[in-house]
Structure 1
């Protein structure tokens, strides 16, 4: 018996086809994985179930939930269904939550909208929902605000909002994309437990086959608004027949071809670095506490080497990165770049700073949307004593864009005119334009589709070989770290707890924390034959 049945659904927005003859089912107590890249139509399929569609959208076909025809419901009927019968978990919890309201108020709001209960009763039920989402009130009071929680904890708040009324169907749209590997595993385990406890159906949307490999009972693979393959997950993984499905599986485990051997000469030396922050004071006259974010960290990166740095959120990776880039001075130890200190007389050494660049996780967020690409990628010129001008500047822009697989003409466009993968290429062009020796990649591919991620990793490998670049690759994705790095450092609570050749560390981890990270990493299904 089907809980949700989508039958030959087609969707057009202002006459532009988006979905074409899409069919899928979710049964009570079962998990349906909907897989596809950006633009495949998976999220629009989910929004069609809730009828949260933009103006100009027109649906045909059928959508039924427990026998109820969704497409024939009035807006009032749909409002009664959203939140009560169907819960929704979005990809980015910080945008799904109201920063001005406490987590208790936000979960209780779902209850107050749908049921005539007192505020105190709603708050009691909100506390119960948060407890079920593994946020017990003794550790996470209802009075907390979203900014006081970690990314994984915020996602649990969103899940608590979605399950507060024990819906029949839960839709989770990329709920773990930006989370570190252990938090991702915890969220997926939580969703699986809630499905088992409540007998609800779960539609789990993801661009990564590995994420749903051990979780989904059934699987639908979408491409360009169509279902190209579907069936029970275990059977489907063993007999993928569509070329697109097989390409997704291969891209998930893609290993770029890398050439060249790192030199023995160290380029970056981090020596016993310590970085403290001032915490909250206790009372009016109490002394402020000190929090040690980086605790005696030492390592080096050789010229031409790719070094991975892995660890959960809050382990100190970002603090260490800012110190290496000369953005935060350390209280102890020293950082040397090619023998020169990163800081001199409490100021960043500009001569060193210009030889390092960084690529961030969210390229769109790191660009000014009002500037054209040619201006965006020349931002690092401010580090040069005599920045190029006129024709030399135009040639530098063209060379940087072409080196990452774009054209010189793209310099005249705005950043919103590009896809996510193209934006990340532009971020790489910005990093390359002053020809640095070291590029720090901070979760640079974590939000990309698997095929785009494979292309960017190939590009990084090629650039590293051609230009002799050195990489510090920060990532929570152990598969990416394995494929692109020579050595890896594992960081926990401000300390390096394990280091060594990437394959050796990830295949035979010695430290319990590393073992925990490796165990939590999603495993690809057996290669289809």
Structure 2
């Protein structure tokens, strides 16, 4: 008998169909990968298992978990099942954790909710759960708060909460989306180890086939609330039948076409740049220490070139980006655009700054939700001495939107009316509107579905050919960097440890850190259809 069996599940929310005749099952000790793009229904299927659905939801069909009928269970029974029989790992650990409680208290709370045990015993068991999640209390005391941990460590705390009561089923909803490749590999290895050691069933939800390729025993591919294909993972990868499955597979390895070639002349030259911070070693009143976030970094980007910058969180990528844009003061070295300093006499050179723009990782967070698109994408006009007005302004807005595949009518809408991919197009339009020479893309496609990511990469390649743009592409996703850049820099602990042509660096890395990154990157099986 299956641990989890979903048969003919249909879901409506306020009469709107969300899921249609969904069937899948999870066996003890096996991993089920549920793959699909945003809106495919994969998360709603997971929420249906635990009945964590919004008001107005109505389910039909059947869900059996460890022999218990979920759809007929009372709320009291469901409260007993959540955490004890099935645990859940959510996509964003910082929002899943309480910033005002220690990690020990939050893991212990899972135990105290379900069992009448002394708090001291709950804390001992919390320490054990954190140890099983590879956060040993001797290195990560129970008294730490979430903000004192890295993204991967916070995700381990969420996993510890989910496994504290040793549930039979673990549901992991996009558990590695925003993580570095090495941290992502560690989290996936941890989940696999827990499945083996605890004989748990794992339902792993992801939008990326490559992430689950080495982990899943079985696969379910969903689209628009329906299962379009399912079966054993190895066989499914070798012979995908449904056009949507094959489209996802092709998008995972998509390489955009680019026709223009880089010039010999350097556009941006970074020479021996140093950026240091002061920090307190033990709280606000502790000893002051110097932290060198960027340590003697030098490189150049040629006109028309796409240069990749890769490295884990904390390596200094974002600090270096802010320094290039004149948003961070540097303690040594110089940054020149076409031979002119970005910062002169402690002031940003506006003539230089207007020639550089940035596209951020989270477009929704980088926009004011109260402004319409026309006002959002004209923000860079403040860098111009004579910003366009009237009909000239409207023409610039329309040209920017149409250049990224949107329409003039979109200028009157608000940002919440667009999908994630459309928001990123709007962010690119904002960067383009003052016709810069250099665009810095900071994790600009890391959170997008693979097909949307492929579309945005094609868009960027086309814009580079059309407008002669130069890109600095910052990402932790090596497959993205490989597909769109000619050269790559590898950054670790504030220093550039390796650089060269992208294919050469990734195919034959020399530095041990680069080898570690390449080995950790998820890849599709070599014999896929």
Q: TM exceeds 0.5?
A: yes
Q: Counterpart of 2:365 in 1: which secondary structure?
A: helix
Pair 1:203 & 2:203 matched: yes
Q: Any idea what the Cα deviations from partners look like across 1:228-267, whole Å, max 9, x if unmatched?
A: 1101001111110001000100000000001111011111
- 1:525 to partner: Cα distance: 2.3
Q: Counterpart of 1:364 in 2: which secondary structure?
A: coil
Residue equivalent to 2:44: 44
Q: Distance in 2 between matches of 1:386 and 1:194?
A: 61
Count of equivalent residues: 529
Q: Distance in 1 between matches of 2:13 and 2:125?
A: 39
Q: Counterpart of 1:72 in 2: which secondary structure?
A: coil
Q: Distance in 1 between matches of 2:278 and 2:284?
A: 16
Q: Distance in 2 between matches of 1:381 and 1:219?
A: 49
Residue equivalent to 1:247: 247
- 1:282 to partner: Cα distance: 5.7
CA distance change for structure 1 residues 284 and 470 in 2, over 3 Å: closer, same or farther?
closer
CA distance change for structure 1 residues 346 and 194 in 2, over 3 Å: closer, same or farther?
same
Q: Distance in 2 between matches of 1:82 and 1:282?
A: 39
Q: Distance in 2 between matches of 1:415 and 1:286?
A: 44
> Are 1:238 and 1:526, in contact at CA under 8 Å, matched by a contact in 2?
no
Q: Distance in 2 between matches of 1:513 and 1:528?
A: 29
Structure 1 runs of 4+ with >2 Å offset: 281-287, 525-529
Residue equivalent to 1:349: 349
Q: Any idea what the Cα deviations from partners look like across 1:194-225, whole Å, max 9, x if unmatched?
A: 11110010000000000000100000000111
Residue equivalent to 2:504: 504
TM-score normalized by the length of structure 2: 0.99
Alignment map for 1:175-190 (pairs within 5 Å)? 175-190=175-190
Q: Counterpart of 1:334 in 2: which secondary structure?
A: strand
> Are 2:108 and 2:126, in contact at CA under 8 Å, matched by a contact in 1?
yes
Residue equivalent to 1:370: 370
CA distance change for structure 1 residues 163 and 282 in 2, over 3 Å: closer, same or farther?
closer
Residue equivalent to 1:28: 28
Q: Distance in 2 between matches of 1:122 and 1:258?
A: 58
CA distance change for structure 1 residues 145 and 255 in 2, over 3 Å: closer, same or farther?
same
Residue equivalent to 1:53: 53
Alignment map for 1:454-469 (pairs within 5 Å)? 454-469=454-469
Pair 1:294 & 2:294 matched: yes
CA distance change for structure 1 residues 419 and 457 in 2, over 3 Å: closer, same or farther?
same
Q: Counterpart of 1:269 in 2: which secondary structure?
A: strand
Residue equivalent to 1:86: 86
Q: Distance in 2 between matches of 1:242 and 1:79?
A: 38
- 1:139 to partner: Cα distance: 1.3
Alignment map for 1:431-510 (pairs within 5 Å)? 431-510=431-510
Residue equivalent to 1:171: 171
CA distance change for structure 1 residues 525 and 374 in 2, over 3 Å: closer, same or farther?
same
- 1:526 to partner: Cα distance: 3.5
Residue equivalent to 1:69: 69
> Are 2:280 and 2:286, in contact at CA under 8 Å, matched by a contact in 1?
no
Q: Distance in 2 between matches of 1:254 and 1:503?
A: 15
CA distance change for structure 1 residues 453 and 63 in 2, over 3 Å: closer, same or farther?
same
- 1:498 to partner: Cα distance: 0.2
Q: Distance in 2 between matches of 1:449 and 1:271?
A: 37
CA distance change for structure 1 residues 527 and 391 in 2, over 3 Å: closer, same or farther?
farther
- 1:279 to partner: Cα distance: 1.4
